[in-house]
Structure 1
Amino acid sequence: MPQIDRFVVFTGGPGSGKSTLIAALVAHGLRTMPEAGRAIIQDQVAIGGEALPWSDSAAFADLMLSFDLRSYREAQALPGLVLFDRGIPDVTGYLKLCGLPVPGPTHRAAELYRYRRQVFVAPPWPAIFHQDAERKQDLAEAEATHDAVTKVYAELGYELVKLPLAPVAARVAFVLQALGQER
């Protein structure tokens, strides 16, 4: 299996069930790389940093790109399928959502570091959406994030596979079937 076919991205707006689904897929023996945004927010808050979406969006995007590039390199050493809770193109979507310019290196990273052609998209799901310490966006911003990131993936030639609005077990079965991993 070519390397990029092993790297499976899950994207969409915040609060749409991506991380919960990925955690459930780990129980089926799949490996994962963590989401950059939540980890960066936790680190920045802990150290009193300003690279936060509500303080300095450009610096936050720079840290996300660095985190995602490192995750991509680390995943190269792992065998089999590796699930990514967002990918490098999400950084471009975030910058566009914020109305910020997308630096050349960010464009280049999204073109150079490719993932499996099929990208799983968690659509906005008001019934499960909630805010927390790291997720301060409201539902409207979550929907705008979904639109921004899915547009970037489509522009980069990825095939968007919409996840069903269904319980976690049904979503797991859907993904395992799509990946040819059903047991």
Structure 2
Amino acid sequence: MRRFVLTGAPGAGKTTIVAALRARGVCTVAEAATDVIARRQAAGVAEPWTEAGFLDRIAALQRRRQLTAVAPVQVFDRSPVCTLALAVYSGQQPTARLHAELERTAGLYDRRVLLVRPLGFVTPTPARRISYTESLRFERIHEEVYREQGYELVEVPPAPVDERVALVAGHLAAWTSTRVV
């Protein structure tokens, strides 16, 4: 199996690109952190990212989703490396579970990671309460952490969704020698 990761700043358009790829028949795996936040907020926790166990919940959901994806080519909206970047950004110590996931997934994902560049703004949501300036700082941390982990970042520049999807699909096709979409 070939597993590819999209990463980048909050609000950069990763989930929109992943949804467009999924609509075209590509096997995609949804981001875990947003779903963990939404579930905890639905349970009455206003700021789940401040809870003990937050990083572990994300790592556990990422693991479950990764283990259930079975297509020969898979596109992930974030990875455990992103969760490590979140720990660095938020000043939290990476947990034993997160370290275990990083070890387990070392070599699992293609070393080329698609870095979706910001669009110039962030649309706030209940799960995304970050300013554009802070999202850029978070993006820099993602870049540093991925590089420290030995990944090569391949930029997906700001552009209309169809252009970004075509660029990502072109990379995937070139990297897998198969037509992706």
Q: TM-score normalised to the size of structure 2?
A: 0.88
Counterpart among 129, 132, 136 of residue 139 in structure 1:
132
CA offset at residue 156 of structure 1? 1.4
User: 1:39-50 residue pairs with structure 2 within 5 A?
Assistant: 39-49=35-45
Matched-pair contact (CA < 8 Å) for 1:52–1:59: no
CA displacement 1:119-177 (0-9 Å, x = unmatched):
111122214x2111211111122112211122111111111011021111111111111
Counterpart in the other structure of 1:64: 58
* Identity level (%): 31
Counterpart among 84, 105, 108 of residue 100 in structure 2:
108
Counterpart in the other structure of 2:176: none
Matched-pair contact (CA < 8 Å) for 1:51–1:59: no
The one-letter code sitting in structure 1 at the alignment partner of 2:61 is F
Runs of 4+ in 1 over 3 A off after TM superposition: none
Matched-pair contact (CA < 8 Å) for 2:55–2:98: no
User: 1:113-132 residue pairs with structure 2 within 5 A?
Assistant: 113=105, 114-127=108-121, 129-132=122-125
The one-letter code sitting in structure 2 at the alignment partner of 1:168 is V
Larger deviation: 14-23 or 24-33?
24-33
The one-letter code sitting in structure 2 at the alignment partner of 1:65 is A
Counterpart among 147, 152, 160 of residue 154 in structure 1:
147
1:74 aligns with 2:65: no
CA offset at residue 18 of structure 1? 0.3
Structure 2, unmatched stretches of 5+, are 174-178
Matched-pair contact (CA < 8 Å) for 2:33–2:58: yes
CA offset at residue 108 of structure 1? 3.4
Counterpart among 24, 28, 39 of residue 20 in structure 2:
24
Count of residue correspondences? 174
